[in-house]
Structure formats: structure tokens, C-alpha cells
């Protein structure tokens, strides 16, 4: 990576961080680990030893199904407890998403979740980007993909009952999805980032997928 003036990207090594102790303080649907650490300082030397709790929920794949021909995409609607405190409704419009199981590849997860959550068999997959969802409190990394819609979409309710999923499928135009974003109706990070990525790279996607 090229350097920007005043910002450096040194290669990280494990010698820059010392994990003195690590143990699980909570294990339920998710896990919380407590760490005692110290790390190198910008001014030189080492920080004091301090404690941090980290939310260990694993890593996830998010896929935004998109049809170039109709300029439309699929969003799913489902209940999210975490939205109840600050959102107008805890039923959110989202891109398809799922956790990565041990040994699974990213594209494998994208295709599995598209089938489970929306009944979709996707064509080509386009890696968008990956990002850390909230590195101050969780180790989770999100991997975003654009998924090619090649067939008819059956709107209805999908999901796995054993995972308490109750997922409604919507087909919306790209322009309507952007309007929902601009009006604050879509405010979850992965979907917001995926829609913005598509807007920035729309010409490139159309050139590749219209052929």
C-alpha cells in the first residue's frame, strides 16, 4: 500500500502486541472473551497492561443480489433485537447475510445464505470489499459480495425455523433502494455499504454482466 503523507502502514508483527491473558467471561448465543494486553506506543516503548472485553461472534458474509437486466435487487426483511432501542422498527431491510462456519469459503456461504434466506440460486459473485464491523469491541470481519440474479425471484417468507428465522423477501429497484437509504429507512452498515459500493461501481458491473 502506498503511503499518505503523515500516515504510515507498518507491517504488523506479533512482537508489537503482547496478550498476557485471555479467557471467556460469557458463553451464550455469542461469546465474550476478556484480554489483558499491552502494545507498542507511537512514541516508543510499551503501554501499560490493560484489559479489554471482546465480542466474539465470528465472521460473516453479506451478499446483495442484483439483476442488471431489470436494474433491481433483492432485500430481505427480518426482526433484529438490536434495532429495537433506537430504530423506528426492529424489522430491518437488509442484504442477505450469514455467519461463516469452520471450513467454509466465502462464496460458499454467500450461495448457501441466498438459498436459505431468499430461495435464490445466484450466478456470478463479485467480491466488493471486507471491513471490520466495530473493532473496538468485536473481532468480526464482514465480507461483502454482489450476487448475480439470473432467474425469477419468488417473494414470500423464507429462513430456517430451527434458527428462529422469519425472513420476508422483497424485490426493489436499485433507485428505490437508494431512496430508502437516503431517507434513513436502510440504516444497517452492511446493506448501506453494499448499496453505496454498487452505486460507485455500477458502470463497471453493467459492462461485465450485460455481456
Is residue 163 part of the annotated active site? The answer reads yes
Residue 1: what pLDDT? 47
Average pLDDT over residues 164-191: 96
pLDDT greater at residue 128 or residue 164? 128
Q: What angle do helix axes 189-200 and 174-182 make, rounded to 10 degrees?
A: 130
Residue 25: what pLDDT? 96
Which bin fits 18, alpha (ψ -120 to 50), beta or left (φ > 0)? Answer: beta
> Which domains does the chain show, CATH number per domain?
14-56 (no CATH), 60-209 (3.90.79.10)
- Dump pLDDT digits (tens) for 66-91: 999 999 999 999 999 999 999 989 99
Q: Which of 102, 162, 163, 210 is catalytic?
A: 163
Query: What integer best gives the mean pLDDT of the chain?
Result: 93
Determine which helix (DSSP H) or strand (DSSP E) holds 191, and give its type and residue range. Answer: helix 189-200
Using alpha carbons, select from 146, 139, 98 the residue that is nearest to residue 124. Answer: 146
Residue 8: what pLDDT? 58
Residue 163: what pLDDT? 85
Whether 37 shows a pLDDT value over 90: the answer reads: yes
CB 126 within 8 A of CB 144: no
Amino acid at each position: 500500500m502506498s503511503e499518505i503523507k503523515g500516515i504510515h502502514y507498518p507491517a504488523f508483527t506479533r512482537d508489537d502486541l503482547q496478550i498476557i491473558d485471555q479467557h471467556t467471561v460469557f458463553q451464550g448465543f455469542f461469546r465474550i472473551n476478556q484480554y489483558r494486553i499491552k502494545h507498542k506506543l507511537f512514541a516508543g516503548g510499551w503501554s501499560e497492561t490493560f484489559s479489554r472485553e471482546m465480542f466474539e461472534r465470528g465472521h460473516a458474509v453479506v451478499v446483495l443480489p442484483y439483476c442488471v437486466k431489470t436494474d433491481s435487487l433483492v432485500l430481505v426483511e427480518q426482526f433484529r433485537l438490536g434495532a429495537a432501542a433506537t430504530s423506528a422498527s426492529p424489522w430491518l431491510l437488509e442484504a442477505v447475510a450469514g455467519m461463516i462456519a469452520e471450513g467454509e469459503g466465502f462464496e460458499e456461504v454467500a450461495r448457501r445464505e441466498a438459498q436459505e434466506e431468499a430461495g435464490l440460486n445466484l450466478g456470478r459473485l463479485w467480491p466488493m470489499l471486507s471491513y471490520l464491523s466495530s473493532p473496538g469491541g468485536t473481532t468480526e470481519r464482514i465480507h461483502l459480495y454482489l450476487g448475480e440474479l439470473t432467474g425469477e425471484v419468488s417473494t414470500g417468507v423464507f429462513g430456517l425455523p430451527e434458527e428462529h428465522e422469519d425472513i420476508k423477501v422483497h424485490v426493489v429497484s436499485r433507485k428505490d433502494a437508494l431512496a430508502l437509504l437516503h431517507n434513513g429507512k436502510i440504516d444497517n452498515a452492511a446493506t448501506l455499504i453494499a448499496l453505496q459500493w454498487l452505486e460507485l461501481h455500477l458502470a463497471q458491473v453493467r459492462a461485465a454482466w450485460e455481456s
